[in-house]
């Protein structure tokens, strides 16, 4: 199967997910509260929105790079891609939950942090599984040696460690976790991805 249909479907799912994030940003004239006060009161929702917007944006960019390196997809690739989209679809829910409970503190805030971290970790695991499969199944545009395979998986799989670490930080300082993950997502969004090397000629 060609890449086009998979990418088009995935793009649609991610577009819906990133659009749903904005539904948790709201103000109301009916409350009688000054608009500036309402905006200040809703800061957790705005911070959570920025975090998840850049998380999904980074997923979209890396997903494009991942499939750009492929010459075809097989059935297992489709299944693993669906697993990735499963977690992408839950990001709006985990985002709104985090925004609702982050200020409250206590057990509810910690559960919200763990929920967000679990979704992020699931997304990272799905990405690594796809990358490992397409390399091992020879679905990329050129042969990948053992050393390069290991290097690519280590570089691309950094989130497997970073997301749990951020979640631990979030148990004690949720806002620090949110800011840190936002900065990390922006870094991966604008930085050179390990995936760009897969479609490039072999350095050897």
Model confidence pLDDT, tens digit, residues 22-46: 998 888 888 888 999 989 989 999 9
157-188 pLDDT, tens per residue? Answer: 888 999 999 999 999 999 999 998 998 888 77
**pLDDT value of residue 197:** 65
Cα 176-51-119 angle, rounded to 5 deg: 95
Q: What are phi and psi of 70, to 5 degrees?
A: -95, 150
How do residues 84-94 score in pLDDT, each as one tens digit? Answer: 999 999 999 99
Span 57-66, pLDDT tens digits: 999 999 998 8
Alpha-carbon distance of 90 to 87, in angstroms, equals 5
CA dihedral (89, 91, 94, 100) positive or negative = negative
Alpha carbon distance 25, 19 (integer Å): 11
What pLDDT, on a 0 to 100 scale, did the predictor assign at position 100? 92
Query: Token pair of 195, please?
Result: 């995936």
Position 140 scores a pLDDT of 87
Cβ–Cβ under 8 Å, residues 44 and 24:
no
The pLDDT score that the predictor gives to residue 204 is 45
- Residues 6+ positions from 7 with CB-CB distance below 8 Å: 63, 64, 67
Which residues, other chains included, contact 94 with Cβ-Cβ below 8 Å and sequence gap of 6+?
52, 112, 115, 116, 118, 119
């Amino acid at each position: 199967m060609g890449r086009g249909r998979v990418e088009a479907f995935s793009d649609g799912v991610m577009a819906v997910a990133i659009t749903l994030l904005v539904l948790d940003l709201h103000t109301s004239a009916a409350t009688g509260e000054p608009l500036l006060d309402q905006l200040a009161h809703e800061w957790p929702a705005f911070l959570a929105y920025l975090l998840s917007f850049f998380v999904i944006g980074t997923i979209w960019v890396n997903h494009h790079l991942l499939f750009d390196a492929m010459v075809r997809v097989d059935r297992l690739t489709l299944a693993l891609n669906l697993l990735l989209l499963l977690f992408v679809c839950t990001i709006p829910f985990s985002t709104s939950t985090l925004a609702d409970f982050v200020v409250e503190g206590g057990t509810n805030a910690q559960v919200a942090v763990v929920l967000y971290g679990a979704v992020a970790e699931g997304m990272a695991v799905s990405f690594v599984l796809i990358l490992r499969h397409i390399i091992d199944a020879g679905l990329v545009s050129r042969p990948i040696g053992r050393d390069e395979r290991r290097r690519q998986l280590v570089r691309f799989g950094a989130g497997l460690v970073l997301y749990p670490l951020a979640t631990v930080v979030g148990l004690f300082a949720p806002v620090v976790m949110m800011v840190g993950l936002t900065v990390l997502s922006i870094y991966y969004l604008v930085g050179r991805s390990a995936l760009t090397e897969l479609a490039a000629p072999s350095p050897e």
